[in-house]
A = this chain, B = another copy of it.
């Protein structure tokens, strides 16, 4: 044990160290919605100079948390994978059980619905997953989450575009744990595609800034027709 245990110890410490700096944490959170951003913008988001930001980005890159896409004189940084996004969710979301930090008022919209890398998370994401499971539209199997034909029909009937929706059949999703709700929602390719379809249909829109997703009144009605219930709006 001492062998693998001591390896794990350094592994954990290294990962922790990458997150331990507010400037780096801010950059990662700015990328948590799955977008790619140039170094200068991340420097601004972190509140540090360009030189400092560059050093931080280099560390995050070498640590495997970020990827980079070079385009001309810009370098667009993005999260390396949805695993990293899930990790950020697990660590940074306003949590209830941990005594550390309490959710602030400003976080309410974020808790209700947000993009987690590219798919819908938050109360609404969990509620939707619950509803689809309960009505037998979605199937949990060992290989992943699969939308059934009857589910696709229901989505089309609720108003999702047909060509869009039919592609969902061929995608499989991954369970993704919502750390504030401590419950499951749909991630992976299927989750991303469903979320994209809902955005296109106007059921949701991205908040002007940040990762929050705002459901429209129409969207809530249509989701309701699928059995999705969420608590009435709180303050």
Query: Could you tell me which A residues sit within 8 Å of B by CB distance?
Result: 1, 3-22, 24-26, 28-30, 63-64, 80-81, 83-84, 86-88, 90-95, 97-101, 104, 106-107, 110, 126-127, 130, 133-134, 140-142, 174-177, 182-184, 207, 209-210, 212
20 contacts between A and B (CB under 8 A): A1-B106, A4-B107, A4-B110, A8-B93, A8-B94, A9-B29, A11-B101, A12-B25, A12-B92, A13-B20, A13-B22, A15-B19, A15-B92, A16-B20, A83-B97, A127-B142, A130-B141, A140-B140, A174-B182, A175-B183
Cβ contact of A9, chosen from B3, B25, B134, cutoff 8 A: B25
Q: Which residue of B lies closest to A1 (CB)?
A: B210
Cβ contact of A16, chosen from B16, B130, B175, cutoff 8 A: B16
How many copies, total?
2
Residues of chain B within 8 A (CB-CB) of A100 are 11, 14-15, 63-64
Please report the C-alpha to C-alpha distance between residue A26 and residue B11 in the assembled complex, in whole angstroms: 10
Q: Are B107 and A80 in contact (CB under 8 A)?
A: no
